[in-house]
């Protein structure tokens, strides 16, 4: 399918991936981010990899997610 139109083409996306993931190889994450960049504004797509991380999460990743949320979503009162 072609690019997404309307307001969604400018949606910010954070994609995170461990470089040692045995279930979803890093190559698939890389292919996915390239597909996303072809569908929405590529400047709004961030792909972060985490050294040594398997199919799990890490404190570093959760800090990046928090920073992304704080930047792109309004504060909750």
Average pLDDT, the chain: 93
- Cβ neighbours of 29 (radius 10 Å): 19
Choose among 73, 13, 15: nearest CA to 41.
13
pLDDT score recorded for residue 7: 74
Residue 59 inside a domain? The answer is yes
Determine the Cα–Cα distance for residues 30 and 41; give it in Å rounded to an integer: 17
Average pLDDT for residues 68-73, to the nearest whole number? Answer: 95
Residue 76 inside a domain? The answer is no
Give the list of residues 6+ apart from residue 65 with CB closer than 8 angstroms, or none: 14, 16
Flag whether pLDDT at 3 surpasses 60: yes
Residue 15 inside a domain? The answer is yes
- 20-29, pLDDT tens digit by residue? 999 999 999 9
Q: How many domains does the chain have?
A: 1
Residue 4 inside a domain? The answer is no
- Structural domain harbouring 56: 11-70
């Amino acid at each position: 399918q072609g690019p997404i139109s309307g307001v969604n083409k400018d949606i910010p996306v954070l994609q995170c991936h461990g470089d040692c993931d045995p279930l979803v190889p890093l190559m698939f994450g890389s292919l996915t981010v390239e597909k996303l960049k072809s569908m929405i504004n590529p400047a709004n797509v961030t792909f972060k990899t985490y050294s040594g991380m398997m199919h799990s999460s890490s404190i570093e990743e959760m800090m990046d997610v928090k920073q992304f949320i704080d930047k792109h979503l309004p504060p909750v009162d």
